[in-house]
């Protein structure tokens, strides 16, 4: 079946079964390999993308369930205000170790910052708890989110 999905501002026609996970479509059909496959069961967060501005696990999101909702992936998150701040903070804080989990981490952190310009430690823990890092970069991730948040105006 043919679906038209909106990824990073571009319309893409894809011919796949309706129960195909979005992650498969992004990586294998569209060649966008920045979004990673980890567990395939919504347990690790490495496949996180934004759908309508909300962080979602693309490994369990079927293509047939998306409709016309805009999808943003790691390839374009730097074009959003929150995503640009998060990516800069990640670089400044040298967050990444092996890197495998990091596109998912950045997608979760970006939606947190977009919706909550000054997150508390608890807010950060709650927003990031579904993103696993086997390298244990959690302390640097939290510091980078705080660094990005400090660039937001107070009350904004």
Is residue 137 close enough to count as binding ligand FES by CB under 6 A?
A: yes
Number of chain residues interacting with ligand FES (CB under 6 A):
23
Closest CA to 66 of 52, 47, 80, 82: 52
Residue among 88 and 118 whose Cβ is closer to ligand FES:
88
By CB under 6 A, what part of segment 106-135 binds ligand FES?
133-135
Burial (Cβ within 10 Å: 0-12, 13-18, ≥19) of residue 56: buried
Regarding 76 and contact with ligand FES (CB under 6 A), the answer is no
Site string for ligand FES, 20-59 (x = CB under 6 A): -----------------xxxx-xxxxxx---------x-x
Cβ 34 vs Cβ 93: under 8 Å: no
Range 8-41 burial, b when 16+ CB lie within 10 A, else e: beeebebebeeebbbbbbbbeebebebbbbbeee
Q: Considering only residues 80, 87, 102, 110, which one is a binding residue for ligand FES as defined by CB under 6 A?
A: 102
Task: Write out the residues near ligand FES by the rule CB under 6 A.
Answer: 37-40, 42-47, 57, 59, 96-102, 133-135, 137
């Amino acid at each position: 079946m043919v679906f038209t999905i909106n990824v990073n501002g571009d319309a893409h026609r894809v011919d796949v079964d309706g129960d195909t996970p979005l992650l498969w479509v992004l990586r294998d059909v569209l060649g966008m390999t920045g979004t990673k496959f980890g567990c395939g069961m919504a347990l690790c967060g490495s496949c996180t993308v934004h759908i309508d501005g909300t962080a979602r696990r693309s490994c369990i999101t079927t293509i047939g369930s998306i409709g016309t909702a805009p999808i943003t992936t790691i390839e374009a998150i730097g074009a959003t205000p929150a995503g640009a701040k998060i990516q800069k903070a990640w670089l400044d804080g040298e967050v990444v170790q092996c890197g495998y989990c990091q596109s998912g981490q950045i997608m979760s952190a970006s939606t947190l910052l977009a919706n909550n310009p000054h997150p508390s430690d608890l807010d950060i823990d709650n927003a990031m708890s579904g993103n696993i890092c086997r390298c244990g970069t959690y302390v640097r991730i939290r510091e980078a989110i705080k660094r990005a948040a400090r660039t937001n105006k107070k009350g904004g």
